Chains A and B, each alone.
Chain A
Amino acid sequence: MNAIEVKNLKKSFGDLQAVDSVNFAAAQGEILSLLGPNGAGKSTAISMLAGLLVPDGGSATLMGHSVTADPQAAKASLGVVPQDIALYPDLSARENLVFWGKMYGLRGAALNQRVDKVLEIIGLSERQKDRIGKFSGGMKRRVNIGAALLHKPDVVIMDEPTVGIDPQSRRHILDNVKALNKQGMTVLYTTHYMEEAAELSDHIAIMDQGKVIAFGTHAELIKLVGEQTRIDLTLNTESTVIFDAWRNTQGVSRIDAENGTVTLLVDDSNLVLPRLFEAAAQANVRITSVDIQEPNLESVFLHLTGRALRD
């Protein structure tokens, strides 16, 4: 049995098809990342899994429980870390965790022990009596995660938990995700940071415009672009002549231009770069900067959509 199983999930808002027949699955104990730009449909998809939105079609199960037919059982196996901080700023870290623990049905000594443990996991035992409103953004994020772990859920959904925080807190959160996963929790992690998806995930589903456009391990996805290298060039002038020349250059498989930067996917940068410079010289165009990137999820996304992930 998969911990998470999503089949043909659909959701639209008016004319906008936010999630369009999406399929993905995560086995128990693995980390699945949903990677995509803002507006790709990641948050809508997980909102349906979390019971916040009712799907227009398709099905979704958590630990075998349908999120629509048996929502309480599905929710009992789930911990959700929302994208924005969803805590009470006027309550202390401990008071927040105690309240959320009660909402998961914990009581008495079991609740207190679990709160102690979670405070230890998120590294805030020393600050447990301080009000959330006094915490830094990173500390709030950690409590935000902790509140989802109180009932030891089988599945944790994390919706972009590292947005807008300092590198140190980000590192802490990523390490926590790995540690939770080692304890057997299945993690569904949404992000638009390809580095996080690459570092954490057993499987990655790349989403764009409401659809899963690629699914696989990191290595499998990289293979989609044929292990090509990405070269970003900036020029002193815009020239259709040079674009045509480069497009026909041996070893160049794709060329795009946007905002004064020309992006090329090439087989071997060592061989292709001299040809690019030669063509530029013949067209009387000066190359002002060169950036070479080995194949990564960014190039996969570019390869699949023709757009950069950050767009």
Chain B
Amino acid sequence: MTILDIALKDLLRSFRSAFAVGMMIIAPLFLVGLIYLSIGGGADSASSLPGINVGVVNADTISANSPLEHPLGDNIRSIFFDESVASWITANDYADETSARAALDTQEIGVAVIIPSAFSDSFFAGDDAVQILIISDPTLTFAPQITENMVRAVLDGAAGGGIAIQALIERQDVVDPAQLSFALETYSAWFINFQRDLFHNPAEAALVMVAPSADNETEAPLQKMLGLMTAGQMVFFAFFTGAYSMMSILRENEEGTLARMFTMPIQRTSILAGKFLAVFLSVLVQGIVLVVASHYAFGVNWGAPLPVLLALLGQVIAATGLGIFLISFVKTTQQAGPVLGGGLTALGMLGGLFTANIAMPEAFTMMANFTPQGWVIKTWKLVLAGQPLAELWYPFAVMLLVGVLMFAFGARNFGKRFV
């Protein structure tokens, strides 16, 4: 009973602290809210993604002996001016790179696509020296990636056509250059139409960009992306809460209330157990609030309840364990600042919490496996992808093991100091 009394007192204090509530609940929701607004206010209104202003400099030309009737640059340009994307892309032509850069500087456009002269010939000749340049406003995230993706898609189509024509030539089934040109143009037209279908709204474009291997294709992609971002924020702040809540023992040591408890007829192990329980409950309450609030406020679809509960439990265990472990090495609340600010941020970055929606290089993904945060976000990704419970047991077991081990080390350190 004493253990619970201590834990409930700590919870009461935490939830009376504006800073604690701010960091536990408000900050993650606020950040997710900003992301939610920045991508147009939610998954169901994906078409309201803020418009992309693209400037195109098309200096591409073709040589007299080119099999193409029109430069490839025209195809690339046309896809930004196509009426199928007019609802979310505003495109303008610019004479040269200088004027496009000037437009970028004045924020008339967010992205500039610079197609150099003789690009088509170089492209089909396999000359990498001549490349399309995409310049963007550094404050933008989606627009440059979507633009690059669209350009790449057109080029992939052209390259595919080129390979097909080359194969025809080598088989000598077709010898008429005019027919070759016709075949290439037909193929390109088909591919561009295909891309138009793909890009008929920004949500589909974003899908191509952020989740090319998404399993659940029926779900709105922005909703999925928002879910991943929310999970990343939630995990980051859960670990913050774990460490911050455990800091209460340092605060109580400095306030003298811990010493006062030690003068009372309570086992010191009970006092420590109460503090540990408070950390667990704080992270649990935070997780529940964030999952529920993000679902109702931003429409995040977390998936089936049981996998969510399992992931949440794993998150709570891992965050509690790491919080107790880290703070057990800290002597004062002042020392705890860098641990909370620097240590958890670094671990969060290594764990991939801030890049949860982006396919990262394999080395980075591997590195995440060495952080508790990496396993927690991995579990949430599985949950958000609608994976069955059976797929979650392995990462859950890792979280459990890591959490319990760190708790054991931390509890031992605290025991040495206070018991």
Give the interface of A toward B (CB within 8 A).
50-52, 72-73, 75-76, 78, 80, 82, 84-91, 95, 99-100, 102-105, 107, 147
Tell me the bound Cα distance from A174 to B60 in angstroms.
95
Q: Does B367 contact A (CB under 8 A)?
A: no
Tell me the bound Cα distance from A73 to B263 in angstroms.
11
Q: Does B370 contact A (CB under 8 A)?
A: no
Interface residue from B2, B255, B263 paired with A80 (Cβ < 8 Å): B263
DSSP class of A's interface residues: helix, strand, loop or mixed?
A: loop
Chain B residues, Cβ within 8 Å of A100: 260, 264
Interface string of B240-266 (1 = CB under 8 A from A): 000000000000000111011111111
Tell me the bound Cα distance from A180 to B230 in angstroms.
58
Chain A residues, Cβ within 8 Å of B265: 72-73, 75-76, 104-105
Asked whether A103 and B256 contact (CB < 8 A) given A88-B13, A90-B13, A91-B12, the answer is no
Q: Is the Cβ of A52 less than 8 Å from the Cβ of B5?
A: no
Interface residue from A52, A75, A87 paired with B259 (Cβ < 8 Å): A52
The count of chain B contact residues (Cβ–Cβ below 8 Å) is: 20
Tell me the bound Cα distance from A72 to B256 in angstroms.
20
Chain A residues, Cβ within 8 Å of B260: 80, 82, 86, 100, 147
Q: Is the Cβ of A51 less than 8 Å from the Cβ of B16?
A: no
Q: Is the Cβ of A103 less than 8 Å from the Cβ of B266?
A: yes
Q: Is the Cβ of B2 less than 8 Å from the Cβ of A102?
A: yes
304-354 of chain B: CB within 8 A of chain A: none
Q: Does B9 contact A (CB under 8 A)?
A: yes
What are 17 A-B interface contacts by the 8 Å CB criterion?
Answer: A50-B262, A51-B263, A52-B262, A76-B265, A80-B260, A80-B263, A82-B256, A82-B259, A82-B260, A82-B263, A85-B256, A86-B257, A86-B259, A90-B17, A100-B264, A105-B265, A107-B1
Tell me the bound Cα distance from A266 to B147 in angstroms.
100
Shortest CB distance A296–B (Å):
32
Asked whether A99 and B16 contact (CB < 8 A) given A51-B263, A52-B259, the answer is no
Interface string of B285-308 (1 = CB under 8 A from A): 000000000000000000000000
Q: Smallest CB-CB separation from A102: which chain B residue?
A: B5
Interface residue from A82, A86, A99, A147 paired with B9 (Cβ < 8 Å): A99
Tell me the bound Cα distance from A264 to B266 in angstroms.
52
Tell me the bound Cα distance from A85 to B259 in angstroms.
11
Q: Is the Cβ of B256 less than 8 Å from the Cβ of A90?
A: no
Q: Is the Cβ of A86 less than 8 Å from the Cβ of B255?
A: yes
Q: Is the Cβ of A51 less than 8 Å from the Cβ of B262?
A: yes
Tell me the bound Cα distance from A271 to B278 in angstroms.
72
Interface residue from A78, A90, A99, A102 paired with B263 (Cβ < 8 Å): A78
2-58 of chain B: CB within 8 A of chain A: 2, 5, 9, 12-13, 16-17
Asked whether A103 and B13 contact (CB < 8 A) given A85-B256, A86-B256, A86-B259, the answer is no
Q: Is the Cβ of A99 less than 8 Å from the Cβ of B5?
A: yes
Q: Is the Cβ of A103 less than 8 Å from the Cβ of B261?
A: yes
Q: Is the Cβ of B257 less than 8 Å from the Cβ of A87?
A: yes
Q: Smallest CB-CB separation from B274: which chain A residue?
A: A103
Shortest CB distance A283–B (Å):
54
Chain A residues, Cβ within 8 Å of B257: 86-88
* Residue with the greatest number of chain B CB neighbours at <10 A, chosen from A80, A87, A95, A103: A103
Chain B residues, Cβ within 8 Å of A105: 265
Shortest CB distance A11–B (Å):
16
